[in-house]
Amino acid sequence: MATSGLVCGEEKSAAPAPEEERDWSEMTPVCLAEAFSRLALEDLWRGAMACCRSWRDAARSHPGLFAALDLEPGFAESTPGAEAAAWWTPAFQRRVDAMLRSAATLAVGELREVRVRHCSDDGLSFAAERY
């Protein structure tokens, strides 16, 4: 009987095991939410929640995922100049307000931290009323 050799006292198999295919749609909402809790804010909003309805529903069913809305890293990483000038436009303010309103709505009373720039008083009031 021929073997392919021994490694640390164990027999080494001749052929690697076939890779197991996984169906991500079979993950439970609890497992998905646990995975989502490890994502950066941008990855959660642009990736996981935009992927498919079941992933969006799983995220929405766990308000704790939206307890903090911290956009400061995005502002800190950007370069001053033309890009920063766009922050002072009404369109940009509406985008920040929309994110703040979405976070406040999705957090269902669990929003604990808000770090944003260039939002309106109305956006902050909306979030405060849902605290």
| pLDDT higher than 70, residue 110 | yes
Higher pLDDT, 87 or 31: 31
Q: Which of 129, 128, 130, 113 is nearest to 72 (CA)?
A: 113
Beta strand 10-11 pairing with 6-7: antiparallel
- pTM for the model: 0.70
- Return the domain boundaries, the chain: 27-129
| pLDDT higher than 70, residue 8 | no
- What's the pLDDT at 1? 47
pLDDT range class, residue 123, cuts 50, 70, 90: very high
DSSP assignment of 47-103, as one string? IIHHH-HHHHHHHHT-GGGGSEEE-HHHHHHSPSSHHHHGGGSHHHHHHHHHHHHHH
